[in-house]
Amino acid sequence: MDLPLPQTWSSAEAHPLGGLYKALGHRVELCAGALWIDVGRFSMTSVPCGQLVHPCRGELEDLLRRTGRLAAQFPTSIPTGVGAHLFAVRDPAYGPGHQQRQFRQHVRKGSASCEVRGVDWTELAARGWPVIEDAYRRQRRPASITRARWEAFCRAGTGGAGLGVTGCFVGGTLAAFLVHWTWDGARHGLILHRWARFDPQKASHCLLDAYTTMAMGRDGMRYVTLGRQMVPADRRDRMTGIMKQHAGYLLEPVRVGAVLHPDWGRWIGGRWSRAVLEGVRRFAGGRLPALDNVEVLQAAAVTQLPGVPTAGAGVQPPARQ
């Protein structure tokens, strides 16, 4: 059941998503009415990444002092930062007509063998681990999640108001799943994984089709989002973005802002420092992933925020397009 939620929480752990991300090994912090998690070694980012945040500079600098991170980034409707896009569906009549033709064909092919339904957290703990193992192996991600951490994640999900899971099953086996959070009439897709073994059955296509149709059919649902384009972008982000668009998710413009740690910003946020780092990154030809954070520095250079909270600051829902 989707519960009415307050717009502020007493701590990061009290936020419905706090325990979920903490179980995955993230540091969780509360700032400007939103939850923030660490991303890599350098950044903090607000989550869910499709929810707009209107912070002040002082709040984010305090966050960076507490965490020792270099930068904090967030999506916002404030006219600042750099341009990106949300992936969103707002039409309550969502259906095959919103999808790209090849995507529809994949859904028709998969419908003979795929069943999409809600999954409770106990079932996800027992049946989702092979999906996680396969996804992390394909993505060549570090083995940061163990079976014990996975089970802790599912226990945390049980207690999170508005949290849910939708899964696609092939022959009774969980082939793909999507963890989501509903708040204030918006459904945020948080974590999407598939088991590549079931790609021929088009499990991911059937999951997105049925999930979006069911979500938009709920009373009071204003929009469904599968997040935003990330800064910096990577190959996985671009490939996933194409599939979201083929599934009928529209690209909605959004600004992404970034603030640097006050002790470091004056040294690495200047124009000449950014130019040097950008030159090194191009020369390295992508062999130094840490230099991808130059894009975050570029966003920080054009982010203008008030120094103290103003009226209307905090978490804001995206405006209707």
What pLDDT sits at residue 318? 59
Residue scoring higher pLDDT (205 or 271): 205
Using one digit for the tens of pLDDT, what is the confidence trace for 104-146?
999 999 999 999 999 999 999 999 999 999 998 888 766 668 8
- Where in the chain are the domains? 87-252
Element (H, E) at 130: helix 129-138
What pLDDT sits at residue 288? 36
CATH topology for 87-252 is: Aminopeptidase (3.40.630)
What pLDDT sits at residue 243? 93
Q: Is 135 left (phi over 0), alpha (psi -120 to 50) or beta?
A: alpha
Res 284 pLDDT > 50:
no
Using one digit for the tens of pLDDT, what is the confidence trace for 49-81?
989 999 999 999 999 999 999 889 999 999 999
Specify whether the CB–CB gap between 268 and 301 falls below 8 A.
no
Supply the DSSP symbol for 201. G
Cβ atoms within 10 Å, residue 174: 23
Res 287 pLDDT > 50:
no
DSSP readout, 67-110? HT-SEEEEEESSS-SEEEEEEEE--TT-SGGGS-HHHHHHHHHH
Mean pLDDT to the nearest integer, 221-227: 96
What pLDDT sits at residue 19? 94
DSSP readout, 134-159? HHHHHTT--S---HHHHHHHHHHHHT
What pLDDT sits at residue 296? 77
Using one digit for the tens of pLDDT, what is the confidence trace for 13-26?
999 999 999 999 99
Across 192-206, 210-224, 307-321, least confident range: 307-321
Q: Compute φ and ψ for 279, nearest 5 degrees.
A: -65, -40
What pLDDT sits at residue 301? 79
Instruction: Please tell me the pTM assigned to this model.
Output: 0.87
Longest dimension (CA), the chain: 59
